[in-house]
A and B are shown apart, each in its own frame.
Chain A
Amino acid sequence: MKIKSQKDFLSGVLLILVGGAFAIGATNYNFGIAVRPGPGYFPFGLGIILALLGIVVLTSAFTSKRTDGDPIGKIPWRPLLCIVGAIVFFGLALPRLGFVISFPLMIIMTAAGGSEFTWKDAVLNAAILTVMSYLIFIYGLQLTIPLWPALS
């Protein structure tokens, strides 16, 4: 058997794994009975259905009429890591360093994910966005956001 669609192959495998994980997890909860389903009833059933759909998708990876192999393509590591890293960094830094420091840093990290990254543009962008966000969110809408590094 030849994989004719890489995308469907990987999709199928992932769906089976996720569905299976939910179904197994659901066994921790009470199933109840058909007249009175418990908290485990729905997630178990849905997990199984998802895994079955995964099998359907997986099968289609072999029966597809595609000839190009429907490749997944290259993974753009740089934007992926920069964007996800920037969000995680923001989460970690905001309560500790405060908005004024963590926000512009996050923007520069995000911008580094683009292939046209230059320090000048990124710093300029970060400065403008930080001032704007400060005026909108903190001065204007008075949202409760930590501003400065926590001293203790």
Chain B
Amino acid sequence: MDLLQNLYIGFQTSLSLINLWYAFLGAMLGTLIGVLPGLGPIATIAMLLPSMYSLQPTSALIMLAGIYYGAQYGGSTTAILINVPGEASSVVTALDGYQMARHGRAGAALATAALASFFAGTIGTLVVAAFAPPLTALAFEFGAPEYCALMFLGLVGAVVLASGSLAKALAMVVLGLLLGQINTDVITAVPRFSFGIPELMDGINFVVIAMGVFSFGEIIANLGKPPEHREIFVKKVTGLWPSKQDFHDAAPAALRGTLLGCLLGVLPGAGPMLASFTSYSVEKKMSKTPEAFGKGAIQGVAAPEAANNSGAQTSFIPMLTLGIPTSAVMALMIGAMTIMGIQPGPQVMTTNPGLFWGLITSMWVGNLMLVILNLPLIGIWVKLLTVPYRFLFPAIMAFCAIGVYTLSNNTFDVYCAAAFAVVGFLFNKLGFEPAPLILGFVLGPMMEENLRRALLMARGDWSVFVTRPISATMIVLAVGLMVMITLPAISKKREEVFVDEE
């Protein structure tokens, strides 16, 4: 079988001692920068690139891929432990992961995240090796109308993320969409709501909003409670390892998340992030106990983590088959390849099979490294939570402040974070849940851009959204989902939901 033959060639490369070493180094460094709030893999890779030119191309790319996965996994760790989501996809992990941590189950949450990621990474690698061409074809089917419909579906799904009042959840989505409107209009280059501040022309940075409304708001609210009522973390930590029941609950969720991630990951731009949001919504809708979500449901950690990681694997497909980077990290990898004298693109598969299959198999090796590296670390992370809160919260604030500054080496982002700390505090006081806001903020500009581009290319014909099969299907799904969400709310005649304060 060709696939086995190819995987064999690949493992010959990726399992060589030196490449294992670089995979390990990459995963370790990636975990480190992922754990630090606000720091992403891009700045680190850019810094490392000059010293990487002396490496063999295969080793360099394997290390870069390791950094990429490591950073993603590290981001989940921070989201679970201290409620600081560093990227859009870990916002979902924070929802239930942080609650698990508060109830003394940080170990189980972290282990679940690691194992679900590893499982998804394994499947994702196989999918990349076996189904890259048909999935590339899927990516081509997605034009502006399809993207727009997909974003619309995602936004409707965002409402499911919240567990309180429907009107408030909708308001959060719309507020997120409006915050996303602070930018330079892509179609006409008009700066909107920038008040002459050049920094606002590129919009508010996602990390600033996420830190403000999730972490800072929560810290202020916590400090506002008298210490004896505070009990942020349960003192007794129950077990570092998920229980049998946990495995039973998490495994199917991880499988569904993996599949969603494999499909959506191929789409450039929003793929992996949409995958983790969607899989969470799916789990919550399918669950017999949807009320457990948002309070520490293990499925709420397993599914999005799996989706995110398998999406991260398949997001390499356009780069491998076409040489088109779908993210900044991949653009860097392509840049590294060109400078090392390798023309990226489909021909790599034939001209340099060792590199091509080596890279694919090293994705799996990288995932393995992450598990090996991170399972032992769980004990240390959990210990971190036993640090008294009076030491912990200034540390969280301090690392976040540096992270925010380094986003673009500009103090403007720091001031924005201060403003969103107030906003986050208000949300906390008034009972708004920030997750739908984040999804609205991230998806909104993409949806608007694609909607207007679709109309531009279709010369103003709105029917383009329903005459194309993929787009029409997604719009039908979105409308159906909307009915599903609103019906119970109406039939219950707005029965008062007492969201109990934790």
Contact = CB atoms under 8 A, between A and B. Distances in A.
B1 interface: no
Contacts of B178: 18-19, 22, 43, 46-47, 50
Contact of B429 (A25, A72, A106): A72
A52 to B, nearest CB: 9
A76 to B, nearest CB: 3
B193 A43 contact: yes
B188 A125 contact: no
B447 to A, nearest CB: 9
A116 B460 CA distance: 62
Contact of B398 (A84, A103, A142, A144): A103
A129 B41 CA distance: 23
A145 B174 CA distance: 36
A117 interface: yes
**Majority-rule SS of A interface residues:** helix
Interface in B146-198: 165, 167-168, 170-171, 174-175, 177-178, 181, 185, 187-188, 190, 192-193
A115 B174 contact: no
Contacts of A43: 178, 181, 192-193
A53 B170 contact: yes
B401 interface: yes
B431 interface: yes
Interface string B388-420: 011101110111011001100101101101100
Interface string A29-72: 11001111111001100110110011011001001111000001
B390 A116 contact: yes
A107 B394 contact: yes
A87 B391 CA distance: 17
Contacts of B399: 133
A118 to B, nearest CB: 8
Interface stretch (B318-326, B337-345, B448-456): B448-456
A106 B67 CA distance: 31
A83 B216 contact: yes
Interface stretch (B82-90, B221-229, B264-272, B472-480): B221-229
A18 B415 contact: no
B348 to A, nearest CB: 31
Contacts of A7: 429-431
B357 interface: no
Interface residues of B, number: 69
Given A88-B418, A144-B409, A25 B193 contact: yes
B394 A110 contact: yes
A15 B322 CA distance: 46
Contacts of A36: 452, 455-456, 460
B181 A42 contact: yes
A79 B223 contact: yes
B36 interface: yes
A90 B44 CA distance: 23
Nearest to A72: B429
B168 A57 contact: yes
B207 interface: no
Contact of A57 (B167, B177, B405, B459): B167
Contacts of A151: none
A1 interface: no
B502 interface: no
Q: Give the 5 A-B residue pairs with the shortest CB-CB distance, closest first.
A: A35-B460, A76-B224, A79-B223, A91-B414, A39-B185
Interface of A: 7, 10-11, 14-15, 18-19, 22, 25-26, 29-30, 33-39, 42-43, 46-47, 49-50, 53-54, 56-57, 60, 63-66, 72-76, 78-80, 83-84, 86-88, 90-92, 94-95, 103, 106-107, 110-111, 113-117, 121-122, 125-126, 129, 133, 136-137, 141-145
10 contacts: A11-B431, A37-B452, A72-B429, A80-B224, A92-B411, A103-B402, A110-B398, A116-B390, A126-B394, A145-B406
Given A53-B174, A116-B227, A144-B406, 8 more contacts: A34-B460, A43-B181, A75-B429, A79-B223, A91-B418, A113-B223, A129-B395, A141-B39
